[in-house]
Amino acid sequence: MGEVDFNHVKSEPEFDGYLTQDGDFNSLYMAPPGWDIQPRAQQSVNNRTSNAVTTVDNSTSTSEVDTNFSASPICPAPLCRQFWKAGNYEDVLASRSQVQNSKNYLHVHPKFLHSNATSHKWAFGAVAELLDNAIDEIQNGASFVNVDKISNPRDGNPTLLFQDDGGGMDPEAIRRCMSFGFSDKKSNSAIGRYGNGFKTSTMRLGSDVIVFTRHLNNRTLTQSIGLLSYTYLSRMGLDRIVVPMVDYEYDMSSDTFKPLHRHGEEHFQSNLSIILQWSPYQTETKLMKQFDDIGPHGTKVILYNLWYTDDGTLEFDFETDPEDIRLRKTDDSKKVKSNMLISEEHIGNQYRYSLRVYLSILYLRIPQNFQIILRGKVVEHRCIAHDLKYPEFIMYRPQTGGTKEEILTTVGFLKEAPNVNIHGFNVYHKNRLILPFWHVVSYLDSRGRGVVGVLEANFVEPTHNKQDFERTSLFQKLETRLKEMTWEYWDYHCGLIGYQVKKKVQATVPAIDFAGHNDPRLQPISVDRSAKVSRPAVNPVFSIPASDFLAAQNRSRQCGIKRTQDDVLSALGRGRRQARAESNAPSAGRSMEIQPVFPAAMPLNQEEAIKLRQEHKKLREKCLGYEKSEEELKFKVSRLRNELREAQQEYQRMLNELQSLEVVKAEKDHI
């Protein structure tokens, strides 16, 4: 997150509400919802501040706000169209906020919106935050999220649309959404946590955002509109964040939505006038028209006044591909491109610039009844693990302070290896991609080239922007283990893609016939301290207890593909001592001879290993299919329960209406 200067903190006297701070500005706790009011004009220069972090309050009167105005047909433009320069405007001459009858408290300055949004260095990271909100709504019946480019009706400029058919938000929930530090997401599977993602993501993508949401609860149907406008705040020179909101409630008798005057009609009209002046919609009728395609519940987010690059062009490229949204490639982005065309077109590079490609790998699992739609076309989900050849499945057990967790990590070569210069681990957290193609080792000497891994690490916490993890000791241990996995996999398997093998793959225990020492396919092997393979005439034969050898092999398997020789060498040492002590005693079938394998026997072992991997892959795919089916059934059950609840509510409503009609009919008959 962008750093906040403590000079941006302003303390004001005499406030009847309350506000506390939990250590940093991301966990700012504001006064109770209802703060969506325009502040009074400032009357004293002494109360003015040019660098303050402000919050919006609910104690300001709107009596001095002029609501008799005609909205301009042109949508007001931001003071600066470049995101990284937008926080440098001057507000000293036009600072306007003053709280009436207030006590000491902290408030959030509009510049905090910009500094908070700088946590997203990458624009697609901000897009993902808004997608997360829709994914979290799957438990409330959401079946799609639509991302599209539409036009601003007031100036014709492109805007971004995010729409889902989830449960929507009631008047209280939308105020928490557009405040700082509030989060209603209590589910363990929910991606959102900090209550900060909506503000950082929207302000990173554009200067202004308007939200339309409809919610049905206990036969009460409400719809709300909220405006978070950096253009309005900066142009008016306000020194606190003002978020105008209006609410409507469905009136069954008139079959229309009527204004919900939570704080009086004058307050409602004041907020509505600000929305009409600074949003893309000039009239209340045009505002209400935006609910036509939302349905009984859902949310629509419209971002406008999108940011420009330093060369004066839109940050997003809508023209190159009519079914995609792309980022314009800068000089920095060109550095990551390979000279090989196949690498440039690979998903490992394309996700940086293509939103369609990024969204295809953004989530590890997507229910079958849920769709991500980008510019009118469904995004096809892609599992990176299915794009790997010669995969290994490694069980990683992090030390999480008493709790036992097992993290299945899939490691393999890309199908295009060695013709692509792409590698790294794709680390997910609660189904969401946090680190795509994360380089855990240096690839300058080709060691590890083309090795890609996939895992879901729920035992470490992501940063606020969900583009990295908090650098805790657990994360550092994970990074160290992933480095080991990369090098080990490469050393043992690089020969499969044409590189010189540095280490031979050890034969697995099932490949050794303990009773068939005369089998011509199997040659005894000898393991010395250097772990090198040698000829039988050079090294002596040692007798090793079979139980020790099997125990060593089992311990080796528990460590994944890590083929350390310590356990085997230890067993060899015990074998030497036992051989000397029992030189005159028969082994009685409890030991076996080990000598080097002739090179002619190696291809057979590799062929068997490949067959085992293929069988393992098939079984793993079946397992994943069963898990996916289970999740789809759970979501289906949840959706059917919601539909049943809505049907029961509708039945109750119709029953009440029927009873009221019968009463009216009875009164007429009586008359």
- 585-602 pLDDT, tens digit each: 443 333 333 333 333 333
In this structure, what CATH number is given to the domain that contains residue 220? 3.30.565
pLDDT for 184 = 53
Q: Are 461 and 469 in contact (CB under 8 A)?
A: yes
Which pTM does this prediction carry?
Answer: 0.65
Of 200 and 529, which is predicted with more confidence?
200
Residues 211-218: what's their mean pLDDT? 94
Q: Is the pLDDT of residue 642 over 50?
A: yes
Point out the domain boundary residue: 454, 471, 497: 497
Q: Is the pLDDT of residue 178 over 70?
A: yes
Residues 555-574: what's their mean pLDDT? 43
Q: What are phi and psi of 304, to 5 degrees?
A: -135, 175
Residues 294, 203, single domain; the answer is: yes
Residues 179, 259, single domain; the answer is: yes
Q: How far apart are CA 205 and CA 220, in angstroms?
A: 34
Whether residue 454 lies inside any domain: the answer is: yes
pLDDT for 503 = 60
- Give the angle 310-311-315 at the CA atoms, nearest 5°: 70
Residues 143, 290, single domain; the answer is: yes
Average pLDDT value for the chain: 74
Residues 184, 263, single domain; the answer is: yes
Residues 389, 488, single domain; the answer is: yes
Whether residue 335 lies inside any domain: the answer is: no
Burial of residue 147 (number of CB atoms within 10 Å: 0-12, 13-18, 19+): buried
pLDDT digits (tens, 9 = 90+) for 26-56: 333 333 333 333 333 333 333 333 333 333 4
Point out the domain boundary residue: 540, 565, 596: 596
- Angle between helix 546-558 and helix 566-581 axes, rounded to 10 deg: 170
pLDDT for 565 = 42
Q: State what percent of residues in the chain have pLDDT above 70.
A: 65
Whether residue 575 lies inside any domain: the answer is: yes
Q: Is the pLDDT of residue 478 over 70?
A: yes
Residues 397, 298, single domain; the answer is: no
Residues 219, 296, single domain; the answer is: yes
Residues 126, 253, single domain; the answer is: yes
Q: Is the pLDDT of residue 8 over 60?
A: no
Point out the domain boundary residue: 280, 308, 336: 308
Q: State what percent of residues in the chain have pLDDT above 90.
A: 43
Residues 382-399: what's their mean pLDDT? 93
Residues 156, 278, single domain; the answer is: yes
Residues 195, 253, single domain; the answer is: yes
User: Other CB atoms closer than 10 Å to residue 142's CB: what's the count?
Assistant: 25
Residues 421, 277, single domain; the answer is: no
Query: Tokens representing 470?
Result: 């908090």
Residues 300, 405, single domain; the answer is: no
Range from 281-285, 414-418, 499-503 carrying the lowest mean pLDDT: 499-503
For residue 23, the SS3 value is: coil
Q: What are phi and psi of 171, to 5 degrees?
A: -55, -35
Whether residue 355 lies inside any domain: the answer is: no
Whether residue 343 lies inside any domain: the answer is: no
Q: How far apart are CA 411 and CA 389, in angstroms?
A: 9
pLDDT for 469 = 95
Contacts (Cβ under 8 Å, ≥6 apart) of 611: none
Q: How far apart are CA 443 and CA 450, in angstroms?
A: 9
Contacts (Cβ under 8 Å, ≥6 apart) of 349: 336, 337, 338, 343, 422
pLDDT digits (tens, 9 = 90+) for 98-142: 444 444 556 788 888 888 888 888 999 999 999 999 999 999 999
Q: How far apart are CA 13 and CA 98, in angstroms?
A: 10
pLDDT digits (tens, 9 = 90+) for 50-107: 333 333 433 333 333 333 444 556 677 776 766 656 666 665 444 444 444 444 556 7
* DSSP β-bridge partners for residue 21: 28
pLDDT for 626 = 87
Whether residue 55 lies inside any domain: the answer is: no
In this structure, what CATH number is given to the domain that contains residue 432? 3.30.230.10
pLDDT for 32 = 33
Query: Tokens representing 7?
Result: 């000079």
Domain limits for position 289: 117-227+243-308
Nearest to 355 by CA among 498, 145, 89: 145
Of 268 and 25, which is predicted with more confidence?
268
Whether residue 537 lies inside any domain: the answer is: yes
Q: How far apart are CA 404 and CA 90, in angstroms?
A: 54
Domain count, the chain: 3
Strand-strand pairing, 245-251 and 28-29: unpaired
